[in-house]
Copies of this chain bind each other. A is one copy, B any other.
Amino acid sequence: MIKELRVKTENKYEMVDLTANIRELVKEVKEGILTLYTPHTTAAIIINENTDTNISKDIFNCFGRLIPEGTWLHDAVDNNATAHIKASLLGPSETIPIQNGKLLLGTWQSPMLVELDGPKERKVILQIQ
């Protein structure tokens, strides 16, 4: 089963928690794998804590220190090289095991779309196998 979500981001850097969109999808699945895939080169998917939303800020701050804007070759074309580098490090997908209608996410784990060059409309492909 494949489903496509559309997510509108509102800021340059932003994480969008996808948990609410996926819990319903797996209710009838006895055993399987959910893949979340974003078909973009300046966005990514991660799984981490979203209860303290400061963790997202810490990740973006850390990235800002390590991979600053405006010092890269690709900036001559698009001025977003930093977003491509960060997206390559995080990767466009995550997979989560499903058992008896539930995602085997840990208590603190939330799958999130990571916007690195917003605001934009982003796609997230959800696939159950």
Copies in the complex: 3
Q: A85 to chain B: closest CB distance in Å? A: 5
Determine the residue in chain B with the shortest Cβ distance to A107: B39
Q: Known contacts being A77-B52, A97-B37, is A31 close to B2, with CB within 8 Å? A: yes
A66 contacts chain B at the CB level, 8 A cutoff: yes
Is A47 interfacial (CB-CB < 8 Å)?
yes
Partner of A85, one of B2, B59, B77: B59
A23 within 8 A of B: no
CB closest chain-B residue, reference A37: B97
Per a CB cutoff under 8 Å, which of B48, B76, B129 touches A84? B48
Is B88 within 8 A of A46, CB to CB? yes
In the docked arrangement, what's the CA distance between A35 and B127, Å?
14
Q: In the bound complex, do residue A77 and residue B106 qualify as a contact, i.e. CB atoms below 8 Å apart? A: no
Q: Is A73 an interface residue (CB 8 A)?
A: yes
Q: Which residues of B contact A31 (CB under 8 A)?
A: 2
- What residues on B are CB-neighbors of A19 within 8 Å? none
Contacts A73-B54, A73-B58, A74-B54 given; does A2 touch B97 at CB 8 Å: yes
